[in-house]
Structure 1
């Protein structure tokens, strides 16, 4: 519809009281007009009087909100279908145009006095009338001819109808008369339609099979009648009649019966106005798909430090395998917000993609040497997924609820309800994968006799690099048909300048939401996870006044610099004792730990500066590989962390007596670690030479020390309870 702009002067409309008027779909009745305004009341009498000026009525007429139906309706339409003349068929229009030419030719000769309105005069002048009509039609269409033989009575009837109702009086419903179909008896129809359900089955019989079944049914019935001495034999319908009956079966029913409900819904589900979004991150779609590429998973520089079992778990042991890719897409701008690779789709791969969509992905773009930035991120409003088990799990839904994201599940086998993410996978398969060696082409027919397994040459790092470079430098910078030739990057930049995006949750909140649930025992040196100590004043106070030492924690593998601990009924953030772990991922710490174990095999405790040197070495040696592996989903859950602690971190810790400054100052008697007699001596080191540990430990300590044993149980006869009472008395 064209844009409407009110003109300075509008025509003055006129109405009659008997006219039928619809305003915004409701019927009204005209009352009166005063100057430029007209007054109407609802036809049902339920509502006040309304006033509209001519300019407003002109605008509503243009936008379809005003419908005026005069009382002088065409009476001849009462005997005809309620179509307009311009919508009638070509044959009806031809008949009407011939009659009009004949009528006009008669009226012309009648005015000249050459014919009269009598049957005798018309019959005598019929040849000249038809000749004049033919010449009149050829003036508009050189191929037009008069194909009707007209009787004087019919011509007089046409003239009367034309003078009364105009052109519409020459039209009739002759084309609707008669039944040109073959008439079948009830018995014939019964035997024919009794075999048609054979076409509506999973056997997928052909129409030729159904024709043969119908003929066999008639032959068998006639044989029974002949044996019974009956003479009323049935005549089998022709092949054309049977095929026509098959053709008139409901297409939806045919598709449903022959191919199943999913294919039927895919083919016949009605499409409305589609998905309407206005701003970035208003609607985000996520899905996973087996990547159409067989890649040879060789080891990168960082992965050399992994064990063979870990490589096999991730599919990085040199075997030829295929990956699942999980993609997060912003519908409004068509920007890809996140992408992860995993061996099998799971809720963790979905959560990793969601988390990636809320973070600036510059580290991945830099690792892949991309020319542009991958900065699209923010808190999404609605996330749309299918009903895969990885997306409908309670854990996945609760974490998205904590983020404030509305989760919408599309019904199964209804990909058209999230069409944009489906189109992205098709784009990846059609534009990117054919350029890579090892492409499986998505189907056996396209692959032909080729063997992509023999051509697989990409390592996991190269695969991640290709995907990131294609997203950042190619896909985001190509004109998009759905954006009217605007690139996704330009669309994102333009709309974010106009609307902005909601900031993602902070690191502290992400630790709680995306953290792994662990359980650890509180000791006098705090909590230990993977060889890293965590302590705070709140933990020390809890240990003094509560016998429960089993603590529930949230461990965030992306940053092990702090954990969340449930102390009583409150969650408290507890930082690592040593600052060197702030901003360090669990994967990076494991690599550094292996490096430390190799160099310091006999040392049970290491200084924090030695640990910092190992972390710096790992980062400088494998920075790019570390970033690329961030796209690969490593299964780091509670069971994995527990197994790593038992296998690798047992008996390993970082020395608390480091040379660096403590992360918190002025904490009083309780700090990041509980004070001991040795700590007391170090405080007075400037006042007197440090005495041997034996002499210090023999003096009565002023600070509180905790025993290594757990709270009272059946074996200790309440010794710990007596010990705690003695502490309270002091």
Structure 2
């Protein structure tokens, strides 16, 4: 929709007379002048009244209609054209300057011809321009702009052969054949087009035949199509936007802790079990990065797929100081000073980042979650770029790496050379982050290192830390509301009670619910006392449950129910739990691949046995053969079937 403004040079039609707005008079009236110079004055009210009654029309073909874009352009100079064209423009200017010599009028025809001949001899030009040619040059030389004398070779060329009916046929072929997700080649479009032209010519008289263009003409026509519209139809809208994206602006972050970016990735390295020495698979890593300083705020290496518990654990580690963490890695030489509560966090749109418990915890900590648009990894490009730096600087140099693709991998046998355990990998990652990545100059940091940027900004930034780490545990935990009974509370089927909870029950109204915070550990939960506005640590009633995993206990109960026991007793469930633990111990000593994976997850991710409600938490194994090679290594036969139905989560408890 076009718009207009009441500004100078606005062209309107008033009662059939074309007029242009000149200016506003002292009394604020509008002064219009027609093509004959006759003035007309109107007040704002009279103009708007005539505009609404259609008595005043706005000309739609005027150059000053609508909003002028705020783009500043500069006219081209001689360097923007080919050298021979620039030399020709300078040659023409010499003739014009020598002929005019400050005069306005040109000499007569015969005098002009003699003058041009003398100039040609003087400048050593073998080709003398004609009088008509020189006059054409002189007409173009407006404002003494030499660019106007550039030859217009770019305007030359023949008209398109494909037009009219031929173009209609080609457009149909392009939409039906070329602009499809199957991405047919241009040769198929050319063949189909020529075939349809032949079919049209069959029904035509010899004098009315369509001239078939050659294949190159069709290819040139297709090459002139809009690349973005072509890619939208051939590779999809999202891929086309990503291919033709334009980064016009730069994100500016005010300081450290203003913007954190978080993401997961599957590391390109195979790990082995620390007891059996056999391959157990590729681990995940979750990274939290500070956008301003490029410091790594926290990490978490885990074998299970990322989930909400992963996010809660890595955020807690990112907020806390790293002094106690680095005591586990004596080979690390530098400090890891990154800590504090951030202002905002930029995740992706995965399901674990939309969990209610996670959002509630971030709201309490005052952390703003900035969800990017769907399928927009460039919105958190710093952490995405870190993963590539980590792969090139560390992961792809480790034994057992799988590389990023098969071309890079070549004939490298990852399973044969894999020897890193999870503990060794974590030590290497921490060493590389603290002593390597944090101490390397960064291009976006003006050749400073992330550690230097953090140290310089830390003195001027008020870094917030939780007063009580137990309070941080309560905030970054799962939540529920339960009733308080004389025997305590039940959380996920487990009883909890304490004297403090009994006193709290006497103050509560009947049927009132209280807020409970819990994590995967069964040992205790946190109960909110609204009268004192504190959280009470309430231990579990059955002390036999201390140290057990909440999710693994659910798996044991589900196993008994699936076996046919409608109401299993505690002893039965506990016996099933011990049986599962014994199975895990046996599987740890086994040489079966899927058993080793289950064992390692149970051992490392002891609090993360996730249960999918649609499957059974059982482990079924079939027989599998081992073949000895001449080199003494073992190769796993591929004809085996393993079913693991309850291992979908898991986090390392550090």
Question: How would you bin the TM-score normalised by the shorter chain?
Answer: 0.5 to 0.7
Give the deviation of 1:294 after TM superposition.
Answer: 1.0
Q: Which residue number in structure 2 is paired with residue 338 of structure 1?
A: 298
CA-to-aligned-CA distance 1:39-86 (integer Å, 9 cap, x gap): xxxx9899xxxxxxxxxxxxxxxxxxxxxxxxxxxxxxxxxx993555
List runs of 5+ in structure 2 lacking aligned partners: 1-6, 9-22, 27-72, 550-600, 613-654
Show CA shifts across 1:111-132 (max 9, x none).
xxxxx93433443454431132
Matching of residue 374 in structure 1 with residue 320 in structure 2: no
Residue matched to 1:171: 149
CA distance in 1, matches of 2:301, 2:373: 25
Q: Alpha carbons of 1:281 and 1:45: their partners in 2 closer, same or farther (altered >3 Å)?
A: farther
Output one character per residue of 1:286-340: Cα deviation in whole Å (capped at 9) or x when no partner. 11111111111325xxxxxxxxxxxxxxxx9955211121110000000111111
For the structure 1 residues 147 and 521, does the alpha-carbon distance in structure 2 shift closer, same or farther, using more than 3 Å as the test? farther
CA distance in 1, matches of 2:518, 2:80: 74
State yes or no: 1:120 paired with 2:83: no
Whole-angstrom CA distance in 1 between matches of 2:376 and 2:147: 52
Shift of 1:526: 10
Give the equivalent residue in structure 2 for 1:539: 502
2:455 is matched with which residue: 493, 500, 503?
Answer: 493
Residues 570-621 of structure 1 deviation map (CA, whole Å, 9 limit, x = unaligned): 754335799xx9xxx9689xxxxxxxxxxxxxxxxxxxxxxxxxxxxxxxxx
Query: Which of 96, 115, 124 does residue 89 from structure 2 map onto?
Result: 96
Per-residue CA deviations over 1:232-291 (Å, capped at 9, x if unaligned) read: 111111222211111111111222222222321211122121211020011111111111
Is 1:133 paired with 2:123? yes
Kindly report which structure 2 residues correspond to 1:46-125, keeping only aligned pairs within 5 A, or say none.
83=75, 85-86=77-78, 89-90=81-82, 93-106=86-99, 117-124=107-114
CA contact (8 A) 2:477 2:517 kept: yes
2:272 corresponds to which of 296, 313, 316: 296
Kindly indicate whether the alpha-carbon contact (under 8 Å) linking 2:340 and 2:464 is maintained by their aligned counterparts in 1. Answer: yes
Asked if structure 2 preserves the Cα contact closer than 8 Å seen for 1:522 and 1:550, the reply is: no
Return the offset for 1:509. 2.7
3-state SS of paired residue (1:374): coil
Distance 1:183 1:340 in 2: 64
Q: Compute the displacement of 1:530 (Å).
A: 13
Q: Pick the aligned partner of 1:247 from 219, 223, 226.
A: 223
2-side partners of 1:284 and 1:44: how far apart? 55
2:175 matches 1:199: no
Distance, in Å, in 1 between the alignment partners of 2:182 and 2:126 is 52
1:368-417 deviation line (CA, Å, top 9, x unaligned): 22112223111111111111111123332222222211111112221111
Q: Structure 1 CA distance, aligned partners of 2:101 and 2:508?
A: 117
Look at both structures and tell me which one has the larger radius of gyration over its CA atoms. 1
Residue 626 of structure 1 is matched in structure 2 by: none
Equivalent runs, 1:614-633 vs 2, <5 Å: none
Q: Return 5+ residue gaps in structure 1 as ranges.
A: 1-26, 29-42, 47-80, 111-115, 135-145, 300-315, 589-628, 641-730
How many Å separate the matches in 1 of 2:355 and 2:489? Answer: 34
CA distance in 2, matches of 1:183, 1:415: 45
Give the secondary structure class of the aligned counterpart of 1:285.
Answer: strand
Using structure 2 for the length normalisation, give the TM-score.
Answer: 0.64
> Given the two structures, how large is their TM-score scaled by the length of structure 1?
0.58
- CA offsets, 1:663-706, max 9 Å, x none? xxxxxxxxxxxxxxxxxxxxxxxxxxxxxxxxxxxxxxxxxxxx
SS at match of 2:394: helix
Q: Counterparts of 1:526 and 1:380 in 2: how far apart (Å)? A: 35
Deviations 1:411-465 (A, max 9, x none): 2221111110110111111111122111000212211233212221111111111
Q: Distance in 1 between matches of 2:533 and 2:297?
A: 31
SS at match of 1:573: strand
Aligned mate of 1:463, from 425, 428, 437: 425
Shift of 1:220: 2.3
In the other structure, the counterpart of 2:289 is: 329
Measured after TM superposition, the shift of residue 470 of structure 1 is: 1.1
Q: 1:358 to 1:100 in 2, by over 3 A?
A: same
* 1:242 partner SS: helix
Map 1:541-556 to 2 at 5 A. Answer: 542-543=505-506, 553-555=516-518
Shift of 1:360: 0.9
SS of the aligned residue for 1:386 comes to coil
User: Residue 355 of structure 1 corresponds to which residue in structure 2?
Assistant: 316
Match of 1:219 in 2: 198
- The DSSP-based 3-state class of the residue aligned with 1:234 is coil
- 1:552 shift after superposition: 5.4
**RMSD (Å), alpha carbons:** 4.4
Question: Residues 200 and 254 of structure 1 are in contact (CA less than 8 Å); yes or no, is this contact kept in structure 2?
Answer: yes
Over 3 Å counting, the alpha-carbon distance change for 1:269 and 1:153 in structure 2 is: closer
Q: 2:263 aligns with which of 274, 287, 290?
A: 287
Q: 1: distance between equivalents of 2:406 and 2:387?
A: 18
Aligned partners of 1:129 and 1:543: how far apart in 2? 115
Provide the aligned length of Structure 1 versus Structure 2.
487
Q: Residue 103 of structure 1: CA displacement?
A: 2.7
* In 2: Cα distance, 1:193 partner to 1:575 partner: 73
Task: Kindly report which structure 2 residues correspond to 1:306-321, keeping only aligned pairs within 5 A, or say none.
Answer: 319-321=279-281
